[in-house]
């Protein structure tokens, strides 16, 4: 079995070796050559030896797969390339969703499998860390979509949003975390927003202002309730319009009762319970 650690050679960037990670997560490929080190060096290999595939069985699932020999299972791929493929896929999905009619866009997003939805959460968590590390820089990230169920209810009211896509901007995050007029939501909660949007406690349509908005209510630790406001516009410009999570706060005592009191008076419960 060949040991990659003692391979002394010069390979093209697209060589098979670089499609895997033989050095595990701590592995490094050192490239530090001068022209005279390469030219006329008979000991410098220009072709990597073929590495046979061996069967490996996942002890947790029982699934049998083939992996390159002498490479740890789970590292038979290039991490950077895999990340870029996922980012490209998610960017393509988000670009498609915003240009589709809302219900069709939601159906596209909801057709993603759990792995892809997990990647949406990972990308959002990375965006959140960047947003918290510095001042707002015009960044934004996909957090999810308004579900088809909610969109169908909105269609019945005649205020169907322009698209299904829900995004968060770094500017709004900074404002929400620093708003002294409300009880701010903690950072750990915001970082997991994509997962939370998939299971709200209730969703309400707020027509008490000039532009309609959606209110998402969530149960939080300690019996607390978290409310976020999602602003949208019905008219869809040529390039499409996304739905923006504008604000969010932990509700104070009595605010749930206030929401209940507004039902039928500009506030409509679309899903769930108060």
- 214-239 pLDDT, tens digit per residue, is 999 999 888 899 999 998 764 444 44
pLDDT at 214: 94
pLDDT at 8: 59
Question: What proportion of the chain, given as a percentage, has pLDDT over 70?
Answer: 62
Q: State yes or no: pLDDT of 60 exceeds 60.
A: no
Q: State yes or no: pLDDT of 196 exceeds 80.
A: yes
Average of per-residue pLDDT across 60-64: 50
Average of per-residue pLDDT across 241-265: 88
Please say whether the beta carbons of 145 and 105 come within 8 A.
yes
Alpha helices, DSSP H, located in 78-223 = 79-99, 102-110, 114-133, 148-157, 170-178, 187-191, 193-197
Q: State yes or no: pLDDT of 75 exceeds 80.
A: no
Q: Which of 33-37, 171-175, 265-269 has the lowest mean pLDDT?
A: 33-37
Classified as helix, coil or strand, 197 is: helix
Q: State yes or no: pLDDT of 121 exceeds 80.
A: yes
Q: State yes or no: pLDDT of 170 exceeds 70.
A: yes
DSSP E strand stretches across the chain: 53-57, 64-68, 140-145, 165-169, 202-206, 213-219, 225-231, 243-250, 267-272
pLDDT at 235: 46
Q: How far apart are CA 143 and CA 243, in angstroms?
A: 10
Confidence of residue 22 (pLDDT cuts 50, 70, 90): very low
- The chain-wide mean pLDDT, for the chain, equals 75
pLDDT at 79: 42
225-231 and 213-219 as β-strands: parallel, antiparallel, unpaired? antiparallel
Q: Which of 72-81, 250-259, 265-274 has the lowest mean pLDDT?
A: 72-81
pLDDT at 56: 56
Residues in Cβ contact with 72 at an 8 Å cutoff, skipping those fewer than 6 apart: 22, 24
The tokens for 258 are 């206030």
Cα–Cα distance list, 195 to 100, 177, 198 (Å): 23, 19, 6
Average of per-residue pLDDT across 36-65: 58
Classified as helix, coil or strand, 131 is: helix
Please say whether the beta carbons of 100 and 142 come within 8 A.
no
Q: State yes or no: pLDDT of 74 exceeds 60.
A: no
| DSSP label of 19 | G
Residues in Cβ contact with 122 at an 8 Å cutoff, skipping those fewer than 6 apart: none
Confidence of residue 140 (pLDDT cuts 50, 70, 90): confident
């Amino acid at each position: 079995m060949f040991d990659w650690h003692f391979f002394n050679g010069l390979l093209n960037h697209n060589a098979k070796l670089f499609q895997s990670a033989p050095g595990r997560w701590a592995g490094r490929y050192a490239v530090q050559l001068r022209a005279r080190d390469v030219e006329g060096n008979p000991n410098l290999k220009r072709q990597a030896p073929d590495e046979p595939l061996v069967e490996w069985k996942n002890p947790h699932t029982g699934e049998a797969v083939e992996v390159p020999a002498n490479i740890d299972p789970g590292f038979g791929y290039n991490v950077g390339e895999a990340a870029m493929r996922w980012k490209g896929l998610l960017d393509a999905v988000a670009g498609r969703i915003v240009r589709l009619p809302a219900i069709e866009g939601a159906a596209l997003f909801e057709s993603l499998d759990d792995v892809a939805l997990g990647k949406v959460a990972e990308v959002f968590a990375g965006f959140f860390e960047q947003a918290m590390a510095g001042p707002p820089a015009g960044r934004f990230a996909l957090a999810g979509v308004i579900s088809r169920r909610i969109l169908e209810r909105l269609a019945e009211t005649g205020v169907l949003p322009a698209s299904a896509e829900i995004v968060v901007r770094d500017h709004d995050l900074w404002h929400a975390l620093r708003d002294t007029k409300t009880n701010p939501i903690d950072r750990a909660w915001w970082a997991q927003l994509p997962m939370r949007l998939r299971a709200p406690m209730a969703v309400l349509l707020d027509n008490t202002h000039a532009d309609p908005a959606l209110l998402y209510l969530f149960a939080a630790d300690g019996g607390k309730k978290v409310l976020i406001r999602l602003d949208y516009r019905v008219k869809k410009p040529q390039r499409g319009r996304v739905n923006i999570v504008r604000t969010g706060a932990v509700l104070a005592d009595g605010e749930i009762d206030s929401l209940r009191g507004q039902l039928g008076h500009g506030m409509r419960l679309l899903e769930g319970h108060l």
